[in-house]
Amino acid sequence: MTELEVGATNFFEQTLCGLADVVYRMSYGLTLNQEGSVAYVDATYKNVISKLSELINLPTSQIEIRLLEECWQLWQDDSKSYAIDQKPIAQVLSKLSVESRISLVLIEGLGLSCEEAGGVIQHSALEVRKYLGQARKVILEFVDSE
């Protein structure tokens, strides 16, 4: 194995694999289904393998954004429908538009800023704030009803 191959392998194992949970969370927000989430994580990583040389020197925060962008693009290209899990969180989130769900996941779940989330889903920060407000409203209504 060459030094470059060893470096790429270490990068993949130590950095990219460490971010799989981030992609899984976004995928779950998209599909509301565990199997669908796993499928999108798998597809995201298969697409990213060819881009290792682009990613290897980026800071982890930028790699995370690139993975999320890749996952979003796969969703946009595919938008396969999955049966919604029976988990309470999936049932509540199913009442939201996909943009509202993903804004909530990216900001509240993954800690991105509205600007970063907007970059991932190709919407303005203002639109992301609107989506986030819609999501929070539905969640508050759910909490109040319980």
Domain region containing 43: 1-84
Is the distance from CB of 133 to CB of 99 less than 8 angstroms? no
48/117 same-domain check: no
What amino acid is encoded at 127 in this protein? E
Is the distance from CB of 30 to CB of 75 less than 8 angstroms? yes
Pick from 104, 97, 95: nearest CA to 79: 97
23/6 same-domain check: yes
What are 106-134's pLDDT values in tens digits? 999 999 999 999 999 999 999 999 999 99
Is pLDDT above 70 for 2?
no
Query: CATH number for the domain including 116?
Result: 1.10.10.10
What are 3-32's pLDDT values in tens digits? 556 566 777 777 788 899 999 999 999 999
Q: What is the pTM of this model?
A: 0.88
- The helices-and-strands tally (H runs, E runs) of the chain is 9, 0
38/61 same-domain check: yes
- For the chain, the domain total comes to 2
